[in-house]
Amino acid sequence: MYTPKLTKQVLDYMNRYTEKKWYNSSYHNDECDSIEHEISEESFISIMLPNSFIDDADKGYFTSFLIRDTNQDILFETKNINEIINYINNIK
């Protein structure tokens, strides 16, 4: 479910409160939107954005932010964007 207004709000917030440059990496046919920060040509961090108030993965409804690395390994999950900011700002 593509939610361009929500994605823009999160993107603006992340660019404002982290020291990293984020961009919209959503495919308009994905189950949820995403933003990314490129660490290098071969490495990036993705944040999958919530798309619902109902948590039902079988139906494609997600209520949490999910941080993944280049290998798609889950690094952190929370429902609070401020916890995402803190996590990102503490990455060395």
The stretches of 1-92 forming alpha helices (DSSP H) are: 4-17, 81-89
pLDDT digits (tens, 9 = 90+) for 22-38: 999 987 667 788 999 99
pTM of the entire structure? 0.86
| pLDDT > 70? residue 20 | yes
DSSP bridge partners of 35 = 24, 47
87 or 54, higher pLDDT: 87
Do residues 52 and 61 touch, judged by C-beta distance below 8 A?
Answer: yes
Which residue is it, tokens 């993107």? 11
pLDDT at 73: 95
- With 70 as the cut, is the pLDDT of residue 78 above it? yes
